[in-house]
């Protein structure tokens, strides 16, 4: 666990582990992971030494977007188990000292939610204004130019009402109308339902999407040279050709976030993590976390993009957050269930996708930055992006963008537990919902536990070492110029204790001036750097060092 400062909230500087329930462990052998499967394998997280667990959606859902389309906020999908199964999971996690936050989607529901079924039935029913409805233009076209992030227009015509309804994502995911106070009240009550169960907080999916412009004004086009992007695949979709100033990140959202914070404050020790997807994500994340009355922390996709790991990529993202007004606190992730796995994204084009030294460096770097760290299941194994054929695709976004991109399925394949068992020990079903590639089976947990040089044992050792140094939980960060984009140097400082963190991000040996910091590195798990009498430090490929 992270070092304890009695004045610091438990989540600040903590390390979380994200579980995608479909792919963690299948307890009933239907080829799909479930809540009892997570419960059975919680010791894996305890052994890693993480502080918290983020569970992706497990609510009742038709699964058009695999749980991000909720049809009942207060029930568990039969695919994943029951409410009782969740209660058992929560109790066991707490017994193991692991906090639990759940992924909730407030901006939209499933098209099959009873609220929407009622809302679409007429223009004068009790829930007629619970969703975003608008008449067509005189020529029959949609109300404005807003686009769906998953492709096409953000509007679908409903013949029952002779109106369009808005959806930022799939047509099966209609947007709720947060301008309606009854909607706001219901979502607060929904959050209270889960807080009463004893959860430790929420991961708030696309929280900046909850409000839309009431006047339904067109989004303007991006200016020439504007490189801000709301998606990671800007060249593939017209969505990224607009400035998204009217369909999301509306100023009214902050007031709702403040109301949600008041609810959270009724449950001491709970926290909120916001997902912020915006053209200017770092600034938006800072705005949603500033002061002591909004979200506790937020993360963006700032470090989940790019095809190469460089010092400027890291420094610019981190520095940009702390340069924002206010005193917001960031969270950092290099990958999750929506993006290409980091080993492939930053390693594939450069030939070190399967290099253990590289994946160890990436993991150490994430857990050394100032902020709360979120690791995605499989990162502790160094899993790469799986190649998925069109016939195997499940992700609707991937089907839309094929063949330019296979979508999100490549990072969602099941966790390999034991290479000697069918489906690498994930399931005894005849087939699994997504395939497990052979190179993942080669990195199975049972195999890595027997390999002293494995990524898995490194992860355990690193997090155990990190626990002993509260500077990584509560310390400040300052970047030091190296003159080389493949050499990253920053300090973490707490009170009078300073640790220098040095990372060789390349596959070449690097030498840098180390001057006054010539103490022997206190911790290097591999590729030990060498110091010389002239104040230089030589770092082998992907070496990293911490000097106190």
Phi, psi for residue 431 in degrees, rounded to 5:
-145, 160
- Residue 323 three-state SS: coil
Based on the number of CB atoms within 10 Å of its own CB, is 62 exposed (0-12), middle (13-18) or buried (19 or more)? middle
CA distances from 547 to 281, 310, 489, 506, 514 (A): 33, 21, 11, 20, 10
- Residue 283 three-state SS: helix
> How would you classify the pairing of strands 271-275 and 297-299?
parallel
| Structure-token pair, residue 103 | 């992924």
Active-site positions?
205, 266
Distance CA 134, CA 132 (A): 7
CB 451 within 8 A of CB 444: no
- Helix ranges, 434-521 (H): 438-441, 445-449, 455-467, 471-474
Q: What is the Cβ-side half-sphere exposure of residue 93, based on CA atoms within 13 angstroms?
A: 28
Closest alpha carbon to 488 in 301, 306, 318: 318
Closest alpha carbon to 137 in 209, 246, 218, 239: 218
| Structure-token pair, residue 483 | 């003159």
CA distances from 34 to 22, 55, 85, 337, 395 (A): 6, 11, 9, 16, 19
- Residue 335 three-state SS: coil
Q: What angle do CA 228, 229, 233 make, to 5 degrees?
A: 140
- Residue 84 CB partners (closer than 8 Å, separation 6+): none
CB 432 within 8 A of CB 414: yes
Based on the number of CB atoms within 10 Å of its own CB, is 519 exposed (0-12), middle (13-18) or buried (19 or more)? exposed
- Helix ranges, 333-437 (H): 342-345, 356-366, 396-401
CA distances from 131 to 175, 250, 319, 360 (A): 6, 17, 39, 46
CA distances from 115 to 71, 176, 199 (A): 9, 10, 25
């Amino acid at each position: 666990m992270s070092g304890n400062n009695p004045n610091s909230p438990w989540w600040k500087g903590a390390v979380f582990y994200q579980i995608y329930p479909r792919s963690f462990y299948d307890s009933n052998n239907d080829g799909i992971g479930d809540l009892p499967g997570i419960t059975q394998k919680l010791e894996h997280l305890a052994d890693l030494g993480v502080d918290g667990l983020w569970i992706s959606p497990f609510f009742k859902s038709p699964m058009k977007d695999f749980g991000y389309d909720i049809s009942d906020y207060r029930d568990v999908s039969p695919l994943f188990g029951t409410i009782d199964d969740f209660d058992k999971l929560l109790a066991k996690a707490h017994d193991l000292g692991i906090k639990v936050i759940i992924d909730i989607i407030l901006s939209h529901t499933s098209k099959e939610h009873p609220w929407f079924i009622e809302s679409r039935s007429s223009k004068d029913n009790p829930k007629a204004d619970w969703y975003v409805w608008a008449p067509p233009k005189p020529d029959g076209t949609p109300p404005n130019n807003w686009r769906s992030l998953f492709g096409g227009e953000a509007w679908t015509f409903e013949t029952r009402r002779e109106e369009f309804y808005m959806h930022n994502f799939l047509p099966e995911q209609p947007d709720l109308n947060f301008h309606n106070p009854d909607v706001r009240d219901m979502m607060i009550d929904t959050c209270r339902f889960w807080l009463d169960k004893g959860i430790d907080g929420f991961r708030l999916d696309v929280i900046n999407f909850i409000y839309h412009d009431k006047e339904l004004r067109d989004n303007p086009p991006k200016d020439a040279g504007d490189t801000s992007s709301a998606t990671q695949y800007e060249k593939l979709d017209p969505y990224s050709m607009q400035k998204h100033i009217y369909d999301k990140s509306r100023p009214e959202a902050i007031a709702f976030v403040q109301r949600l914070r008041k609810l959270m404050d009724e449950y001491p020790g709970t926290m909120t993590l916001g997902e912020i997807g915006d053209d200017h994500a770092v600034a938006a994340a800072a705005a949603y976390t500033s002061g002591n009355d909004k979200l506790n922390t937020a993360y963006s996709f700032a470090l989940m993009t790019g095809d190469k790991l460089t010092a400027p990529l890291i420094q610019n993202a981190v520095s940009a957050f702390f340069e924002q007004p206010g005193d917001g606190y960031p969270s950092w992730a290099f990958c999750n269930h929506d993006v290409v796995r980091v080993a492939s994204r930053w390693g594939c084009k450069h030939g070190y996708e399967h290099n253990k030294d590289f994946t160890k460096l990436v993991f150490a770097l994430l857990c050394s930055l100032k902020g709360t760290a979120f690791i995605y299941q499989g990162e502790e194994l160094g899993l790469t992006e799986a190649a998925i054929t069109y016939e195997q695709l499940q992700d609707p976004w991937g089907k839309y963008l094929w063949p330019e991109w296979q979508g999100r399925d490549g990072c969602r394949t099941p966790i390999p537990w034991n290479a000697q068992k069918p489906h690498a020990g994930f399931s005894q079903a005849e087939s699994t919902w997504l395939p497990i590639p052979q190179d993942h089976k080669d990195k199975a947990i049972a195999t890595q536990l027997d390999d002293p040089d494995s990524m898995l044992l490194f992860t355990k050792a690193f997090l155990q070492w990190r626990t002993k140094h509260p500077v990584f939980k509560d310390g400040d960060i300052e970047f030091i110029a190296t003159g080389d984009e493949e050499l990253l140097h920053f300090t973490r400082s707490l009170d009078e204790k300073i640790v220098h963190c040095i990372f060789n991000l390349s596959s070449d040996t690097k030498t840098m001036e180390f001057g006054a910091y010539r103490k022997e590195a206190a911790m290097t798990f591999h590729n030990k750097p060498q110091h010389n009498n002239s104040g230089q430090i030589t770092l082998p490929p992907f070496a990293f060092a911490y000097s106190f």
